[in-house]
Chain A
Amino acid sequence: MNYLTNAEKRTYGAIVIGSGMAGGWAAKEFCEKGIKTLVLERGRKVTHNEDYPTTLMSPWEFPHRGRLTEEELAENPIISKCYAFREDAKHFFVKDKEHPYEQDKPFDWIRGYQVGGKSLLWARQTQRWSQLDFDGPARDGFATPWPITYKELDPWYSHVEKFAGISGNKDGLDALPDGEFLPPHELTCVEKHFQKEIKRLYNDRHVIIGRCAHLTEPKEIHYQQGRAQCLGRNLCQRGCPFGGYFSANASTLPWAAKTGNMTLRPDSVVHSIIYDEKKQKAVGVRVVDAHTKEMVEYYAKVIFVTAAALNTNLILLNSTSHRFPNGLGNDSGLLGTHIAFHNYRASISADYEGYLDYKTEGGRPNSGYIPRFRNLYKQETNFLRGYAAGMNAGRGSSTDREGLGESLKNSLLNPKMNQMWYAGSHMMGETIPKESNKVTLDKLKKDENGMPILHVNVAYDDNDDKMVQDFIDQFTEMYTKAGFKNIRHRDTKQAPGLDIHEMGGVRMGADPKTSLLNKWNQMHHVKNVFVTDGACMTSTSTQNPSLTYMAFTARAVDYAVKEMKKGNL
């Protein structure tokens, strides 16, 4: 009797694995619809504002002024490559020794294990996909066709945008549908100059202000979340005391908690999903307590796997049973394959000697954006697909650091406005999913939680190299024509992963032979398991992906709850 009571206590309507970008949305949507929901987070508890220890620290309060120590660098060769892993935000990243993995090929796996996951740390750019993006795999004959259209996702983009708070300008572009926007940020004078020149010189290229998850003018729904206007601090990675940008911590999770339907369980590493052969569905999950290493089972009618792309793959691959010896729902044998990412290798920068009577003032947590223009309507280059790009122009000041004594001091106290503007862009390229780009489980080695070590075997290909060259060529031309001088470009050749946009492995598709999930993000072969994080992505296009995960998640929960009510799950 005791055992039964105990098991009943561990039974919920829904289980959500992961509390980040997608998991937070699953939690909110389930709880709002009255479903008792267990949210499992492998990392520690991070509560909005209470656990942002550096958020109000001034530069002079950091002992190393942001820099990492030699010891930290030596211990963390992987994570220290990430731009935001610095003294002020390092506590939100997984250190190299904390969750080891095998790089069959170089891959920088950047992770945030805590309540809120990487939603605390993301770059907050939020662009919708267009039908042109969903058409990609079918038109160009790679991956498998997407089973969903833009029209089907459109209302769900609107749904998440209104709640999260997305600022942007209605630009009316085919490549980048407009959304439910809060007022846009302003382009700088040199960005506007570039915008005007590109419009004059090209029919197919547009420079717009980025669309981002910042409250430029909060609405009632945002005040209800306890959030307020973004103050342009540009210290987002520390956690925002005002909730000025969207994070699960500031937004979806407290909203879910307020319903009384959410149980949030941090320090809970999901080992696997329990499949019941008689019921022919999943019945729960096995969880390893991160501290005691004890295994506990939790049960639910429906399970959402939103553990972040590669960890979602890891959990599903580790969920083996007599029915699914190669991983849950993996009859096709494709689970863990077709991993793709965004190619961020190339960047360009230059100087502009106009507008010298002007400068920028204040803070803007955003930049200009150039939507994809290559191969948009038809194949026209020697590589597939294309790239979007950031575009940022600003004017700094500097001090003369020659000299010593009073003359040096005087120079330092009197910074001079630079006699030129700086302009820069970086590429965000689509990569083509391939079966050979995959993750697998080590057959012998396990980590401290008893989870198999993940092997990551993901690499660039010839298409990516050609795209890098095209970005450099096209932007050199665009910058030159816009009158920019001293143009420099570089290819960092950074490893895949550092883009922090890894996707795929559990892709969507209409055909169970070539995909794992249907158009509702539901496993073809395990109807009560849904995957709505980056793992579900059939192709990557060029947009920053989080907004699409949010929309997929809200849509999938809506479907799952309707199916539950019909008794189908």
Chain B
Amino acid sequence: MTTISRREWVKGMTLATLGTVAFYDLSAQAKPNFPVSKKAPAWTAKQEQILNEWIGVIIPESSIPGAVSLGVPKFVKTMLDDCYELSAQETFRQVLDAFPSSFESYVKKAWSQANQAEKEEFLFAMAKGNVGSGAQKAMSTLKGLTIQGYTTSEEIMVKYYNYVMAPGFFNGCAPVKKS
């Protein structure tokens, strides 16, 4: 996991590109106050476990970290709690609670006994609407959030997308490197 200390980052940027600019003590910054939703019910341990496994099938672990090890489930829960209407949250929880039994009746096997291919097949069936419209919506929501959380994680942005906060230059006509 790549970690960049903010202080080091600013120091680096300052030395690299600014020369004589004043260096500000960033520890003086007040931490922003992010609201916490009061409406969403707590997630049960069971729900969290199912959610983790579900997310783990969408973007699995390999030699490259997958969604679960990059903390995507926490992001997904935050987004569902805070950024979705209560009715959408309820539908999602219902699908989540029914997930093991839906899986079992569709694949004819317990989740714990199934392989990745079987799990993916079930998720594709959900996405197509073959497991009901609620499941289709929930799958679409979860896939979108999982991709968002994964592609905006520090690991992926820095290592794979070459994210830099302050590029310090602009080239309006840069040759595309042929791979």
Contact = CB atoms under 8 A, between A and B. Distances in A.
B168 interface: yes
Interface stretch (B45-53, B128-136, B151-159): B151-159
Contact of A412 (B22, B150, B174): B150
Contact of B167 (A49, A186, A362, A401): A362
A59 B158 CA distance: 11
Contacts of B58: 404-405, 408
B171 A361 contact: yes
A372 interface: no
B43 interface: no
Nearest to A360: B172
Interface in A214-237: 223, 226, 228-229, 231-233, 235
A119 interface: no
Interface in B135-179: 143, 147-154, 156-157, 160-161, 163, 165-176
B172 A186 contact: yes
Contacts of A404: 57-58, 120, 123-124, 143
Given A59-B157, A413-B156, A231 B78 contact: no
A7 interface: no
A339 B5 CA distance: 49
A191 B170 CA distance: 14
B57 A405 contact: yes
B172 A188 contact: yes
Nearest to B178: A357
A60 B154 contact: yes
A54 interface: yes
B29 to A, nearest CB: 6
Contacts of B176: 356-359, 417
A91 B31 CA distance: 12
Contacts of A56: 6, 9-10, 26, 29, 165
A363 B167 contact: yes
Contacts of A406: 60, 62
Given A69-B35, A358-B175, A404-B124, A59 B152 contact: yes
Contacts of A57: 32
A77 B37 CA distance: 18
Interface in B26-40: 26, 28-32, 34-35, 37, 39
A415 interface: yes
Nearest to B6: A56
A64 B78 contact: yes
B79 interface: yes
Contacts of B83: 64, 67-70
Contacts of A53: 29-32
A192 B172 CA distance: 9
Interface string B69-97: 00000010011001111000000000000
Given A60-B153, A359-B174, A360-B174, A232 B167 contact: yes
Given A59-B152, A67-B83, A360-B171, A401 B32 contact: no
Interface in A59-86: 59-60, 63-65, 67-72
Category for how many chain B residues contact A: 35 or more
B82 A71 contact: yes
Contacts of B101: none
Interface residues of A, number: 61
Contacts of B64: 409, 413
Nearest to B78: A63
Interface in A353-376: 355-364
Contact of B24 (A49, A185, A233, A363): A49
A189 B156 CA distance: 29
B172 A242 contact: no
Q: Is the interface of A mostly helix, strand, loop or mixed?
A: loop
Among B75, B83, B147, max chain A CB count under 10 A is at B83
A417 B176 CA distance: 9
B77 to A, nearest CB: 10
Contacts of B22: 226
B100 interface: no
A358 B173 contact: yes
Contact of A233 (B9, B66, B160, B166): B166
Interface string A301-337: 0000000000000000000000000000000000000
B139 to A, nearest CB: 10
Given A241-B10, A404-B120, A409-B64, A51 B30 contact: yes
A243 to B, nearest CB: 9
B165 A233 contact: yes
A211 to B, nearest CB: 16
A242 B171 contact: no
A399 interface: yes
A232 B166 contact: yes
A58 B35 CA distance: 18
A405 B21 CA distance: 47
A50 interface: yes
Contact of B18 (A54, A91, A242, A357): A242
A356 B178 CA distance: 11
A233 B20 CA distance: 19
B29 A361 contact: no
A229 B160 CA distance: 28
A484 to B, nearest CB: 17
Contacts of B151: 399, 412
A417 B179 CA distance: 12
A231 B147 contact: no
Contacts of A91: 32
A186 B172 CA distance: 6
Contacts of A186: 170-173
A187 interface: yes
B165 A54 contact: no
B17 interface: yes
Contact of A70 (B84, B161, B170): B84
A412 B59 contact: yes
Contacts of B148: 65
Given A65-B152, A233-B166, A406-B60, A361 B174 contact: yes
25 contacts: A49-B29, A52-B29, A56-B29, A60-B154, A63-B75, A64-B34, A64-B79, A65-B148, A68-B83, A70-B83, A87-B34, A91-B32, A188-B173, A223-B20, A232-B167, A235-B165, A359-B176, A360-B170, A361-B167, A363-B166, A405-B57, A408-B58, A408-B59, A409-B62, A417-B176
| Closest 4 pairs between A and B when the two form their complex, measured CB to CB | A188-B172, A228-B21, A231-B166, A189-B173
Given A53-B31, A405-B120, 4 more contacts: A71-B39, A229-B17, A360-B174, A412-B59
